[in-house]
Structure 1
Amino acid sequence: MAPRRRSSAWCAPDGLAAPREQASLTTRRRAEVVARQPISRSPGRERSSSVSTTASRALPPFQRFLDSHRDLVWRFLVRAVGRSEAEDCFQETFIAALRAYPRVRADSNLRAWVLTIAHRKALDAHRARARRALPVADVAAVDGRQSAAAATADERLWGAVAELPPRQRSAITLRYLADLPHRDIAVAIGCSEEAARRSLHEGLKKLKEVYA
């Protein structure tokens, strides 16, 4: 059973809302304050300013970029690491994005780019969790959400996704939650397009075994 594809008009159900509803006020304010800070360029890059400035002018202001992608990044991180760790990853993702934004090409796929950063932050969170010797648990258990008996079929399915190996979990989340094509999934998780397809296929195969 494959996770349902999300349409562009998808509305977050109760319990999986957008970051402006679920993330703490402190986290949101920090991200917004950071987004308003002027973007500085190091002296070493001044020599290529004529090229980078031209590209940057075609990009949307960072605040607009943040507002356009924050919900998608938040949903991805909740599925990838659980709500308890998603807030920190969300803030770290957009701080890293802000620092790198001046170097982004004007014709870049911003959605795939920011999800690549989010994926890396999620991996960092999983590594930190492993160093703390915490068991890899179902997202519902990590978050302290409602018990399995009260969970919906969709929540149980995403709980099973959370137990997959990291690359398979990310491939499925990026495909069915972010609706990314295989090419962009490959960029996000740092592998070839064929490897991304294989991770997606293997992850779906394991899910079918669980629900067989």
Structure 2
Amino acid sequence: MKADAIKMDGGKAGSVDLDEAIFGLEPRIDILHRVVRWQRNNAQAGTHKVKTRSEVKYSTKKIYRQKGTGGARHGARSAPIFRGGGVYKGPTVRSHGHELTKKFRKLGLRHALSAKATAGELVIIDVADLKDAKTSALAKQVKDLGWKRALIIDGAEVNENFAVAARNIDTVDILPSMGANVYDILKSDTLVLTKAGVEALEARLK
């Protein structure tokens, strides 16, 4: 499939051939959901923790005698039934991550790129570089192009001046091709690929 390419100033920069097997699939929500869930679960810290009955600071002395009080039997104030006692089956430090095969992760990335192409939210640019690392100049270009929450994916390396200029624009993110992922692609309103980025992604996903 053919796609028109533009320059950062809005001028035409020819066209590129996009691989149908990567940009022309019918997006499947179930595949995208599984990959995003895998990403978010792996990113979760899992450092939540409560104190159990054995960890709270209380005496282990029996609080009153077993029989004759007319009340329930209790052994210690650390029991979960009492205020300040340990928590029963509360959260512990653990990993929320789970496995997902490389083949399925690649499939998810293909469907994410296809989803953007299908929705008309894919833009191809010639190169992502700047002579000077000026945030104001890049912000003006982005505004003129009408990009909102744009994710720019370049080739193997990102132009340093462009990355520095984009750092202070909260609606623009830039990644090298190896950093491309389903969650960030779907979260963006506009996916911007450089010609080098297209080549690198097609090489990665074949």
Higher strand share: 2
Same fold by TM (over 0.5)?
Answer: no
Structure 1 length normalisation: TM-score?
0.22
Structure 2 length normalisation: TM-score?
0.23
